[in-house]
Amino acid sequence: MSQTAPILELRAVNKSFGPVHVLNEVDLSVYPGQVTALVGDNGAGKSTLIKGIAGIYPFDSGEYLFEGKPVHITEPRQANALGIEVVYQDLALCDNLDVVHNMFLGREQSKGVVLDEITMERRATETLRGLSVRTLKSVRQQVSSLSGGQRQTVAIARAVLWNSKVVILDEPTAALGVAQTEQVLNLVRRLADNGLAVIIISHNMNDVLRVADNVACLYLGNLAAQVNANQLNHSQIVELITTGRSGEMGLHPDSAMGASV
């Protein structure tokens, strides 16, 4: 699939909530410089998978490798320390604060007790420039005055501010119009081009095919397939999502049946 080594690799991870087996022996490889799309129907286990990666719900069993080394992540802080950042669907921005304040929320830079506004503003501006963001009038604008796409941009910029290596985006375009979706997808692409590993959850197949390098499809808690995006077309992805297989790809018919129990 790719010549480079994966930065993040899951091997046969399992997760159950009580009697419900949500993730079943899932493998996933995430490569630096690539966008990995995570697709699947509702309840397929996408959210559980990323929450496991982010340390919110630790996996029950299986291997979690980061940069080739096994790690054990049980809380979000550990994931952050490794350079894994998640942008959730609701973005978690404070409307009453400006862009800089939001980007540094909870991790403000200070000189003594005094906030170092200048350093923060510079770093925020640099990060936004690095992402070629030109849609913000001023980094001192309040978030309440931003459009949905601009907010998404700020949330993503916040995630990459901390020299992160893996950025996970949960449905970043779900609530956006056409032009803003375009903006955000461009930004996602640039993140990968800058060398980051990006995991994007999306229900929009056009978005997936436009931006993803490879696609991992979950089907009822099983990984149906993780394949190169250019080997897939729209209907094949839909097939993978709805039946767990498509032609030669995907789960063996028996296991697909077994998984549906």
CB nearer to other proteins: give 139 or 205.
139
Interface positions, 209-238, toward other proteins (CB under 8 A): none
Strand boundaries in the chain, DSSP class E: 8-17, 20-30, 35-40, 61-66, 69-70, 84-87, 110-111, 114-115, 166-170, 197-201, 214-219, 222-228, 245-246, 249-250
CB nearer to other proteins: give 97 or 238.
97
For residue 245, which phi and psi values (nearest 5 degrees)? -150, 160
State the minimum distance, in angstroms, from the CB of residue 104 to other proteins.
Answer: 8
Interface positions, 109-138, toward other proteins (CB under 8 A): 110, 113-115, 118, 121-122, 125, 128-129, 132-138
CB nearer to other proteins: give 80 or 222.
80
Q: Is 193 a binder of other proteins (CB under 8 A)?
A: no
CA dist 213 and 1 (Å) reads 10
CB nearer to other proteins: give 146 or 217.
146
Q: Is 18 a binder of other proteins (CB under 8 A)?
A: no
Instruction: Return the residue of 142, 194, 204, 243 that touches other proteins, per CB under 8 A.
Output: 142
Q: Is 81 a binder of other proteins (CB under 8 A)?
A: no
CA dist 251 and 226 (Å) reads 11
CA dist 205 and 190 (Å) reads 19
Read out DSSP for 149-206?
HHHHHHHHHHHHTT--SEEEEESTTTT--HHHHHHHHHHHHHHHHTT-EEEEE-S-HH
CB nearer to other proteins: give 109 or 231.
109
Q: Is 26 a binder of other proteins (CB under 8 A)?
A: no
Residue bearing tokens 């997936």: 208
List of residues contacting other proteins (CB under 8 A): 77, 88, 90-97, 101, 105-108, 110, 113-115, 118, 121-122, 125, 128-129, 132-140, 142, 144-145, 149, 179-180, 182-183, 186
